[in-house]
Amino acid sequence: MTQSHAGMVPFITAEEIDEMVSQLAQEIEQDYRGKDLVVICPLKGSVPFFSDLTRKLSLPQTHDFVHLTSPKGEGVRILQDITVNITGQHVLVVEEIIDAGRTLSFLKTRILASSPASLKVVTLLDKPARRELPIKPDYVGRTIDDRFVIGYGMDLEEIGRNYRAIYNYAQ
Ligand code: IMP
Ligand code: MG
């Protein structure tokens, strides 16, 4: 790996990620059979997971992107809002990781304001020990303890987004 970094310890291999994504896709496919989906990707960390997951779903689907930011000590802000009409639609938000739950809580409120037919959340990783707001994802790839990870979209100051595997990052 050309971009490796001191303090990176292998945590979840690319093969394990692929298995997790396939499993999640299977569950989603079963639950939404016969329905159309609007799949929403919050930028930027969810991009690899969103890309792999949606390509494993054969359901009819519309894609959209939303960009939120939460600078330290400030609330969550919208940089780029949803552009498709989600009123009356089945909406699935694809998150790579849920930590305190602030981003997702804000996004859920934003989406519910547009009265979708349903709203569910899939996350590849969940860190429930870090939760500050009562957010529960509907589909979870793996529950992990309180550790900082990079890779597969997740970054530390942009390092790690392009890695195929997920690493534990100890500073
Ligand atoms: P929350 O609003 O605290 O749940 O934060 C969720 C966001 O924080 C995720 O979408 C990630 O962008 C980032 N994040 C949380 N934990 C990690 C991590 O372990 N590695 C990299 N990014 C993380
Ligand atoms: Mg994110």
When pLDDT is averaged across residues 59-71 and rounded to a whole number, the result is 96
pLDDT for residue 3 is more than 70: no
What is the rounded CA–CA span in Å between residue 22 and residue 31?
14
Q: Is 125 exposed, middle or buried (0-12, 13-18, 19+ CB in 10 A)?
A: buried
- pLDDT the model gives residue 74: 87
pLDDT for residue 2 is more than 60: no
Residues with CB under 5 A from ligand 2 (ion): 45
Which pTM does this prediction carry?
Answer: 0.95
Task: Return the best residue to mutate from 99, 103, 110, 167 for the ligand 1 pocket (most ligand atoms within 8 A of CB).
Answer: 99
- pLDDT the model gives residue 92: 98
Q: How many residues does the chain have?
A: 171
Q: Which two tokens stand for residue 135?
A: 């957010």
**Which strand ranges, in their side-by-side order, compose the sheet holding 61-69?**
77-80, 61-69, 37-43, 90-98, 118-126, 139-143
Report the helix count and the strand count for the chain, using DSSP H and E. 3, 9
Q: Which two tokens stand for residue 19?
A: 């298995």
- pLDDT the model gives residue 170: 84
Query: pLDDT by residue (tens digit) across 98-109?
Result: 999 999 999 999
Is CATH 3.40.50.2020 what the domain over 15-147 is classified as, yes or no? yes
- pLDDT the model gives residue 122: 98
| 59 CA → ligand 1 middle, Å | 28
Residues near 105 by beta carbon (within 8 Å), at least 6 away in sequence:
133, 135
- pLDDT the model gives residue 4: 64
